[in-house]
Amino acid sequence: MFDTRQLSKTNDFAPHRRPASDVEFDGVFRGLSADVPHISPRWFYDDVGSALFEAITRLPEYYPTRCELEILDAHGKQIGERLGQRTAVIELGSGSAQKIGRLLPHLASVRAYRPIDVSNAALQATSLELVGRFPQLRVDPVHADFSDRDAMHTFLQRAAGTDDAVLFFPGSTLGNFEVDYAAALLEGYAQGLRPGTPLLLGVDLVKPRETLEAAYDDPAGVTAAFNRNMLAHLNRRFNGNFDLAQWRHEARWVPRHRRIEMWLRCDEPQVVQFGEQRIEFAAGAGIHTENSHKWDRPSLHDLAETTGWSLQDWWTDRRGWFAQALLVRQDDQHKADRLTATNTGEHRPN
């Protein structure tokens, strides 16, 4: 039996904001009525979406989870040594927290685990499971949006005041954001943390189109159900009436952006009631629901350097399909040197 005193009450940060539903409704409505209709991927994750994502991770075509677990199993000891004496792990988008379970045995000094997720169901279930498996660990689940930069800044600054934390961001979840936005997130995290703080980041790597597209469009239709469930989630949350049967799943590799794009497309015109608003979609219209950017070592090095981090280490699975990148929060001198080098036209060595 685990000791429930190990498990803190779920924390919600940013309580000072306007009621979440107004802000959220405005954001989703703006996205759906934009020239290119789109929805933030965070809306995949209600209880059903979290369960469907777990089913995706077990599909034969969906390699990222297996590759990332392979890396943690093969290199966990070395990763633990490189992370050094940390007292806490903060995980962004913890989901089933399967990966931290592989890493914790190599992080002997860690006393606290702070999973952050928008899915309350995932957060509660996995926190309880971890408390059961690691009796010495204190688990502080945080129900929040890690893309809320102001709230994250406050949260990380507070955490940095009490702990020597490592930030853990697996699952290539950062790749779901537009590259500029991903850069802004990394920069924001760096600003809230002390120099030298490590970030262990899971990133999916560029590979042949067939492998990529199969991973996001499986023949069993699980990814299609996951994609469509987003509309069911919006219906429930915002009093909408999307007819799920009218929307088909699309996944395609877009080499120009080095990303998989997922869309929902309707063949017939649709008029959708969304709260008090109506939204019209022409026949053939699409809603862009997800990007999944793919990286290589040089592009990740550049992303890190320009956002207040340095790429210090890099581990891949045997096939070189996925990587764990160890980034370290730069100190101010490094940033100043970098800025001077940029202004004088020096380039990074290859």
Residues that bind ligand SAM (CB under 6 A): 42, 45, 50, 53, 65, 93-95, 99, 116-119, 122, 145-147, 170-171, 173
Name the minimum Å distance from CB 161 to ligand SAM: 22
Closest contact distance (angstroms) between CB of 74 and ligand SAM is 17
User: What is the sign, positive or negative, of the torsion defined by CA atoms of 242, 245, 246, 250?
Assistant: positive
User: What does R_g of the chain's alpha carbons equal in angstroms?
Assistant: 20
Strand partners, 272: 279
Q: Which is nearer to ligand SAM, 264 or 266 (CB)?
A: 264
Rounded to a whole number of angstroms, the minimum distance from the CB of residue 177 to ligand SAM is 9
How far is it, in rounded angstroms, from Cα 242 to Cα 254?
27
Are 63 and 214 in contact by the 8 Å Cβ rule? The answer is no
* Long-range contacts, 70-78 (Cβ 8 Å, 24+): 70/317, 70/318, 71/315, 71/316, 71/317, 71/322, 71/323, 71/324, 72/99, 72/102, 72/103, 72/324, 73/102, 74/315, 74/317, 75/315, 75/324, 76/102, 76/103, 76/105, 76/106, 77/106, 78/315
SS3 207: coil
- For ligand SAM, the closer of residues 53 and 263 by Cβ is 53
93 vs 308 by CB, closer to ligand SAM: 93
Q: How far is the CB of 65 from ligand SAM (least distance, A)?
A: 6
Q: Pick between residue 100 and residue 287 the one whose CB is nearest to ligand SAM.
A: 100
Question: Shortest Cβ distance from residue 155 to ligand SAM (Å)?
Answer: 12
- For ligand SAM, the closer of residues 96 and 330 by Cβ is 96
Give 164's contacts (C-beta < 8 A, 6+ positions apart): 85, 86, 87, 88, 197
Least distance (Å) from ligand SAM to the CB of residue 129?
14
Sign of CA dihedral 43, 27, 167, 110: negative
Least separation in angstroms between residue 13's CB and ligand SAM is 11
Closer CB to ligand SAM, residue 52 or residue 272?
52
The Cα–Cα gap between 55 and 335 comes to: 42
In the complex with ligand SAM, which residue's Cβ is closer, 94 or 229? 94
